[in-house]
Each structure stands twice: as structure tokens, then as C-alpha cells.
Amino acid sequence: MTSAPEAPARQTGLALPRKEDAHLLTGRTEWTDNIVHSGTMQVMFLRSPMAHARITGIDASRAAEMPGVAAVLTGADFAGEQGSLPCAWPVTDDIVLPEHPPMAVDEVRYVGEAVACVVARDAASAADALEEIDVDYQPLPPVLDMERAIAPGADLVHADKGTNTCYVWPLASGDVDAAFSGADVVVTRRYRQQRLIPAAMEPRAVVCRPENGGYTMWSATQIPHVLRLMLAMTTGIPEQDIRVVAPDVGGGFGSKLQVTAEEVLLLLLARRLGAPVKWTETRSEGFQTTHHGRDQIQDVSIAADADGRIRGLRVQLLADMGAYLMLVTPGVPILGAFMYPAIYKMDAYSFTCTGVFTTKMPTDAYRGAGRPEATYAIERIMNELAAELGMDPIELRRRNWIGHDEFPYTTIAGLTYDSGNYEAATERATSLFGYDGLRAEQQRRRERGDAVQLGIGVSTYTEMCGLAPSRILGDLKYGAGGWEHAAVRMLPTGKVEVVTGSSAHGQGHETAWSQITADRLGVPVEDVRVLHGDTLVAPRGMDTYGSRSLVVGGSAVAQACDRVVDKARRFAAHMLEAAEDDLEFSGGRFTVRGTEHPSASIQEVALAAFAAHDLPDGVEPSLDSDAAYEPSDFSYPHGTHLCAVEVDTETGEVRIRSYVAVDDVGTVVNPLIVDGQVHGGLAQGIGQALFEEAVHDAEGNLVTSTMADYLLPSAADLPDFTTDRTVTPSTTNPLGAKGVGEAGTIASTPAVVNAIVDALRPYGVRDVHMPCTPERVWRAIADAKEGG
């Protein structure tokens, strides 16, 4: 026991470089595809070339006899064991839930659906054998257009269900009819959220090996815990016999928040063959068969008084489910339902979502999941309303947003926002952006009639994230809970192991969780090791999605640390022969308040707790604890994003000239990580605004199935982002933090399109459908000229 040294510096708020980057960025990582076990067999899938067809026969006899082939299996071979892929979010009691066999048995419903698989000693043998499988298809009509799909007499995706309507989900608050009939101005628009293809750096990959009487699956997944449970429920293999490992995962963006056909089938193949099996998708295979995002048609009307005060909002949504319901497919648009009123006060709101089956790859969560769509619609129509009223779009927002002194505030959609300061974020953003100067330049360009016009786009977003608590998720019929688990163990040497149920796949949790732990325990940040992503090592967890990990998982770490300190206090009181109440804990050291008495460091306590030679009464050896934490409500980050674009009115080319993002994510644990999250999010949101679109032909083939056809933004397409923050701590979790993982994506798409439409407003353009390609922009100008 020594006298107290200086306390270590507070780590929360420091821009520490990410601990995990040393191995992630230098090729020393273990991706699933790098995992090699002796005797591993390669699996490849034969996939449907038809969007909709009956399978009338499969002849796999030639393929089965090819050299190196261990097995060729069809859906019929898996009958009785493959179950139905799970949907964990049946949003209504009467939702239509079709069977979803991992491998098609008698009918295919999208191009790319698996109809057979080959297991071979190597990939080349498997690929050769795939060519030798003959499948007879009897074509059925593809169902590709949502509006036609729900019209009377439409061809059906699931004939046995008698309808293509999956569900109808309404939300209403206040008297919408009165709000609209009493309003001075009504603006109505139709927005299209084009279908997007998630394109994480690492494609999906699965290895499954029988071991220790059970099975270990390595999968590039966001959700090892949920996957383990769902694999057990789908296949009947006991949960305790399944271990799931998510090794380093090269991004997911929601696309790996899934229980996929391939994961189920590889487990069944490992059982059947008694050998390790492996599958890695090709990029084109991934584009076709990793779930897609967005794909909604939004009919939106907003009603306001002449002074800009919003009276009411009406939203009618068609949401393309694709051919089947995957893990959270039906819930995605429902997450958006609550976000249309955004940061604005209004008298009435009504929302209806119709989920529609089509013969396309199912949609599901993609960064922001429902919230980018809602934010796009409200932020776009706010700009149209401002134009209608002849008002500056920021002024219109100011007249309607919730004041900083009005929190907690219950919105018309029924959410209670805990905190926020929209004025402060907007003031900061406009000043960094040079809003007035840019407006003046815009005016000059307009007056000169320049070919290249300047557009200014604003988006003042909020979003609900940090998905928790369980009670609210249960009310929304979401199948899983909203808690997260953490265990904190002080080792005898005074170093710390943190076990977390969060499952990072690029978000930097090892660093942020170390910072939280260092502050709570007063230990050096480099003394903390974070363990995650393996159901054997971290047996309890709810995984990573919905920007929940910091506010739920990070708070669980904080709570477990606090419990470790509580336990340490009992040891320290015993060691220092003082009363617990007289002890102060600061900078990793227990001192006796107001005395020169010797102190004890938490590391000394950890060693004493391990040795256990002299335990205090009723205290067990070792210094560790755990926590299953859930916050009292969602978290509501917000911010103001401003985008300036130059639009060449002769070619339709759009160049982003500057972009300012001022986000309020509450208390920031690591500003470097937060900036990185915002940058990545902006790239994805800008990708939707300008470049990306999954296109199907009239037969239902995905024509954008390579990166040459499906344009992803590159660094050269993006400006230098200016990022800054305001800090309004959350009151729903002990860290005061709000999520950031999806914020950039949610905010940026409308900021960019608002800027483009703003540039072209003098030409009569009122909208450009996304992605705003040069051709679309050029046509919008041409059409407006013709119309005008």
C-alpha cells in the first residue's frame, strides 16, 4: 500500500487511435475466408436464373460423379431438417409469413435463390460440378412492381397466401383531416427510395466444423448470439452444441444482421458430412443474394399555415419486402414510421405502411434501416414547403423545431426525446458553412445565368437509435430484447479483461470500451483487453446494430466496472482497516477521506482478491463483476448538415463543393472514431443520393450485379468533410452518449438532393429521383423547360 500517485488522465473524449487498427490495417487479421482447417470442403451454390418459376426436376447425377465431389444436394435432400429461415419481427398479428426454406424445394421466387449445392475438395471442382447440374424450371410470372402487385388480380408471389400484401401497419395521432382542411398550404410529393445493395468490404463467408460433439461456426456476421439461437431454433440442433465465432468482420452495414440460408445449410452440411465445410460468396453472388436495402415509395403531404407553422403530416408508404421475410424485414419501415415528424412540432400525423411481396431478393436492414427513408421524405418536403411559402428553408425549420428548453418532449409520433439543441447545432453549422456568403454567391450566379449553378441543401435530422429497452421493443413486436451484457475481470496482475456482448465489425469497440474501463477503474487504457464475437468467450449478448453498442453495450461495461469498484471497495476497506463509507476512489486508488492514511491501488486490491488470504466477511475471491444493462429509452442523436453543390446545367453533372456536418451525439467517448463513423456514413448517404441503384430488368434479373454497374462512391467523388459537434448529453444512459453509427447516412442523402433541387429551382425543377445521375439531372432540367 502506497501513497496516492497522480490520477491517470481521463480517457473519455480523447481521440485515441484505434487499438484494433494495427492488425486490421496491416493484413494480420483473421477473416473467415482465411480460416483453414485440414480436410475442409468447399461449398458452392447453384442459384436460380429465374425470378419466379416452378422447379419441375433436378438432375444432379453427373455432377455427383465429378472428380473431387463429395456431395450434391438439393432442397428435397434437406427436407425435414432445413426448417424455415426466421423472421424475428412480425409487426402485426395478421402478418402474412410465408415459409422460407434455406434451399428452394419446388418453387423459386428471386434470381439467386439457392436450388442446389455442391460440396467438393476444392473450389475448382465445386465450380465444375455446378455446371453439370440440370434444373428444369417452369416459368411463372415475375412480380416486380409494388403498385401492380397489390392491385386486384395481380400475379402472386406466394399463391397459397392469396395476396401480395404482407401487412398494413398504421399510426395516427391528432385530427389529420382537420389539420389539412384548416391549413393555408398543402404540399404533396412522391419520393422513391431506390433499392440499394450493401457492399461491405468483406463479402459473406462461413466455415462450419464439427468439434467436441457439437459444431463451431465462424461467420462474417454482426450477430453471433442471435445467430446461434436462430440456428438452434431453425435446425433443432441443441443450442449448447453450437458455438458461433464472428472473427474480424470487414463491415456489415446491416447486411450481416441476418440469419442466412447459407449459414443454416453449412451447419446441416457439417453435420451430414462430419467434416469442416466452407463457403465464401463472390461479389456478384453477394450483390444478388445478400439482402438489399430501402426500396420504398413514399407519398407524403404536409399542411402548414401561411407563416410556416406545420399543422399536419400524412405519409403512405409502400415497402418492398422482396420474396420472403428475413430477420427484420417487416420492421424496417416501422422504425421509420416514428421518425417522419422528426424534430418538428405539429398537431396531427398519420402514417400507413403496406408491406408488399415481389419476386426480388428480400430487403432488410441497411445502415439506418427505415430512418434514412423517413428523414429523406420529411427533409425534402420541408424544403418544398419552404419554397412554396417563399421562406428560407432554415427559417422554416426554426419556426417548427422543438426548442432546447422543451425537453423531454413527446412527439406527435409518441416518442419522448430526452434532450437536444437544434438551434445550437444549426448555428454552428451555418457559421462553419458560411451560409450567408454562399447564398449571396448563388444569387450572383443566378443573375449572371451561369451554366454552373450553386445549390445549398440543409438537413436538420434526428433519429432513434440505441435500440433498447426490451419493453418498448416488445411493444413493437420485435422478437429480441434490448439489453446488453458485459463482464469485467481484473486479473491478478492488475490488468483487465472486458467481455462484451456487442459484436464490432469495424466500429472500434475495443478502443472505446477500453477508454470507458480505464476511466471507471482508473487503470491505464493499454492495460485493458476487450474480448468479443465468440459465444464461448462472451456467452451472453444482443450484438451490434441500430447504433446501440455504445449506449447499451458501453453502458453495460460502465456498470460492470462500477460493480467491480464496489467490490474492490469492500476489499480496500478491509485492507486499509477503514470504514467503506470513509473511502474515496479516484484515479484507480482508494484513499481514506481526510487522512494521510496509506492508500491502496485497485491493482493491489485485485492481487489481494486473487490470493484470498484474508478475505473480508461475505466477499468472494477475485475482482470481477458483470452487468446486463438496458437504458430507459432510445437515444436521439441529431444534427444539422449543410451541402453545397455545383450543378452543370448543360451536362447534368453534380459536384459536391463543400459539406458541413454538425452532429450532436451526446457525450463523445472517442472523437476520432466518431469522425470516422460520420465520414463513412456520409459516403453511404451520398452514394444513395448520387450513384447507387439496384436495377432489375423486366424478367426480374438484377442488371447491376457487378461494381462496374452498381456505382459505389470512391474517395475521389467526395469532398473534404467539415465535421463538428455540439454536446447535449443523453439522460437515458450513464454515459450521456447517443449513437453515431448511422447518423451520417441518415442526414446526408436529403442534404445532397435538397442542394441539387435548390440549384435548379429557378429552372422549374421540383425534384430529381435518386440517384441523381447526370442523365437524370439533365432530363429534370429538360422536362421542366418543356413543362414550363
User: Which residue spans within 332-391 are E strands per DSSP?
Assistant: 348-357
Based on the shown chain and the rule CB under 6 A, indicate whether residue 670 belongs to the binding site for ligand MCN.
Answer: yes
Strands across the sheet containing 310-322: 165-173, 348-357, 310-322, 293-304, 185-196
Tell me how far, at minimum, the Cβ of 15 lies from ligand MCN, in Å.
10
Count, residues near ligand MCN per rule CB under 6 A: 36
Spatial distance between the Cα atoms of 320 and 460, rounded to a whole number of angstroms: 27
Tell me how far, at minimum, the Cβ of 542 lies from ligand MCN, in Å.
11
Please identify which residue in 98, 333, 739, 771 interacts with ligand MCN, judged by CB under 6 A.
739
Pairing of strands 53-59, 134-139: antiparallel
Strands across the sheet containing 114-120: 69-74, 114-120, 41-47, 277-280, 205-211, 214-219, 242-245
Based on the shown chain and the rule CB under 6 A, indicate whether residue 487 belongs to the binding site for ligand MCN.
Answer: no
Tell me how far, at minimum, the Cβ of 387 lies from ligand MCN, in Å.
32
Contacts of 684 (CB under 8 A, 6+ apart): 253, 367, 744, 745, 748
CA–CA distance from 551 to each of 41, 469, 629 (Å)? 41, 11, 10
Please identify which residue in 354, 547, 559, 591 interacts with ligand MCN, judged by CB under 6 A.
547
HSE (CB half, 13 Å, CA atoms) of 439?
Answer: 11
Among 283, 316, 297, smallest CA distance to 363 is for 297
Range 710-718 contact pairs with CB under 8 angstroms and sequence separation of 24 or more: 710/197, 710/199, 710/287, 711/687, 711/771, 712/199, 712/687, 713/683, 713/686, 713/687, 717/656, 717/686, 717/690, 717/691, 718/656, 718/682, 718/683, 718/686
Spatial distance between the Cα atoms of 536 and 724, rounded to a whole number of angstroms: 40
Q: Are 538 and 500 in contact (CB under 8 A)?
A: yes
Q: Which is nearer to ligand MCN, 340 or 513 (CB)?
A: 513
Please identify which residue in 228, 380, 548, 641 interacts with ligand MCN, judged by CB under 6 A.
548
User: Of 164-172, 202-210, 668-676, 769-777, which part binds ligand MCN (CB under 6 A)?
Assistant: 668-676
Q: Which is nearer to ligand MCN, 243 or 738 (CB)?
A: 738
Based on the shown chain and the rule CB under 6 A, indicate whether residue 197 belongs to the binding site for ligand MCN.
Answer: no
Please identify which residue in 221, 260, 462, 677 interacts with ligand MCN, judged by CB under 6 A.
677
Q: Which is nearer to ligand MCN, 367 or 445 (CB)?
A: 367
Provide the 8-state DSSP code for 162: T
Please identify which residue in 508, 685, 687, 750 interacts with ligand MCN, judged by CB under 6 A.
508
Q: Which is nearer to ligand MCN, 470 or 667 (CB)?
A: 667
- In the stretch 609-648, what mask flags binding to ligand MCN with x, by CB under 6 A? ----------------------------------------
Residue with cell 463523445: 668
Q: Are 548 and 467 in contact (CB under 8 A)?
A: yes
Q: Are 671 and 740 in contact (CB under 8 A)?
A: no
- In the stretch 404-433, what mask flags binding to ligand MCN with x, by CB under 6 A? ------------------------------
Please identify which residue in 101, 293, 501, 680 interacts with ligand MCN, judged by CB under 6 A.
680
Pairing of strands 348-357, 623-629: unpaired
Tell me how far, at minimum, the Cβ of 169 lies from ligand MCN, in Å.
22
Tell me how far, at minimum, the Cβ of 701 lies from ligand MCN, in Å.
28
Residues for the chain: how many in total? 788
Residue with cell 447499451: 552
User: Of 30-38, 46-54, 62-70, 249-257, which part binds ligand MCN (CB under 6 A)?
Assistant: 249-257
Please identify which residue in 666, 685, 734, 771 interacts with ligand MCN, judged by CB under 6 A.
666
Based on the shown chain and the rule CB under 6 A, indicate whether residue 280 belongs to the binding site for ligand MCN.
Answer: no
Among 239, 253, 243, smallest CA distance to 204 is for 253
User: Of 206-214, 263-271, 311-319, 667-675, which part binds ligand MCN (CB under 6 A)?
Assistant: 667-675
Please identify which residue in 223, 402, 737, 760 interacts with ligand MCN, judged by CB under 6 A.
737
Based on the shown chain and the rule CB under 6 A, indicate whether residue 226 belongs to the binding site for ligand MCN.
Answer: no
Tell me how far, at minimum, the Cβ of 685 lies from ligand MCN, in Å.
12
- In the stretch 697-736, what mask flags binding to ligand MCN with x, by CB under 6 A? ----------------------------------------
User: Of 100-108, 138-146, 564-572, 740-748, which part binds ligand MCN (CB under 6 A)?
Assistant: 740-748
Based on the shown chain and the rule CB under 6 A, indicate whether residue 512 belongs to the binding site for ligand MCN.
Answer: yes
HSE (CB half, 13 Å, CA atoms) of 307?
Answer: 4
CA–CA distance from 589 to each of 573, 584, 594, 600 (Å)? 12, 8, 14, 6
User: Of 97-105, 224-232, 310-318, 659-667, which part binds ligand MCN (CB under 6 A)?
Assistant: 659-667
Based on the shown chain and the rule CB under 6 A, indicate whether residue 199 belongs to the binding site for ligand MCN.
Answer: no
What cell does 475 get? 411493444
Based on the shown chain and the rule CB under 6 A, indicate whether residue 362 belongs to the binding site for ligand MCN.
Answer: no
Based on the shown chain and the rule CB under 6 A, indicate whether residue 505 belongs to the binding site for ligand MCN.
Answer: yes
Q: Which is nearer to ligand MCN, 83 or 508 (CB)?
A: 508
Q: Which is nearer to ligand MCN, 313 or 683 (CB)?
A: 683
Q: Which is nearer to ligand MCN, 21 or 65 (CB)?
A: 21
Q: Are 44 and 117 in contact (CB under 8 A)?
A: yes
User: Of 228-236, 247-255, 433-441, 647-655, which part binds ligand MCN (CB under 6 A)?
Assistant: 247-255
Please identify which residue in 126, 518, 740, 757 interacts with ligand MCN, judged by CB under 6 A.
740
Tell me how far, at minimum, the Cβ of 9 lies from ligand MCN, in Å.
17
Spatial distance between the Cα atoms of 146 and 194, rounded to a whole number of angstroms: 12
Spatial distance between the Cα atoms of 428 and 639, rounded to a whole number of angstroms: 10
Spatial distance between the Cα atoms of 32 and 39, rounded to a whole number of angstroms: 16
Based on the shown chain and the rule CB under 6 A, indicate whether residue 546 belongs to the binding site for ligand MCN.
Answer: yes
Among 545, 537, 535, smallest CA distance to 232 is for 535
Based on the shown chain and the rule CB under 6 A, indicate whether residue 498 belongs to the binding site for ligand MCN.
Answer: no
Please identify which residue in 550, 654, 683, 780 interacts with ligand MCN, judged by CB under 6 A.
550
Helices 422-433, 393-400: crossing angle, 10 deg rounding? 170
Tell me how far, at minimum, the Cβ of 738 lies from ligand MCN, in Å.
6
Q: Which is nearer to ligand MCN, 165 or 559 (CB)?
A: 559
Among 767, 768, 749, 769, smallest CA distance to 371 is for 749
Q: Which is nearer to ligand MCN, 362 or 494 (CB)?
A: 362
Q: Which is nearer to ligand MCN, 22 or 782 (CB)?
A: 22
Spatial distance between the Cα atoms of 165 and 303, rounded to a whole number of angstroms: 29
Please identify which residue in 509, 532, 570, 696 interacts with ligand MCN, judged by CB under 6 A.
509
Based on the shown chain and the rule CB under 6 A, indicate whether residue 588 belongs to the binding site for ligand MCN.
Answer: no
Q: Which is nearer to ligand MCN, 253 or 351 (CB)?
A: 253
Output the CA torsion 574→580→582→583 (10° steps). 80
Spatial distance between the Cα atoms of 504 and 533, rounded to a whole number of angstroms: 8
Tell me how far, at minimum, the Cβ of 255 lies from ligand MCN, in Å.
8
Q: Are 733 and 630 in contact (CB under 8 A)?
A: no
What cell does 392 get? 428560407
Please identify which residue in 53, 196, 496, 673 interacts with ligand MCN, judged by CB under 6 A.
673
Based on the shown chain and the rule CB under 6 A, indicate whether residue 252 belongs to the binding site for ligand MCN.
Answer: yes
Q: Are 7 and 586 in contact (CB under 8 A)?
A: yes
Spatial distance between the Cα atoms of 593 and 778, rounded to a whole number of angstroms: 73
Based on the shown chain and the rule CB under 6 A, indicate whether residue 227 belongs to the binding site for ligand MCN.
Answer: no
Binding residues for ligand MCN, rule: CB under 6 A, are 200, 251-254, 367, 505-509, 512, 544-550, 554, 665-670, 673-674, 677, 680, 737-742
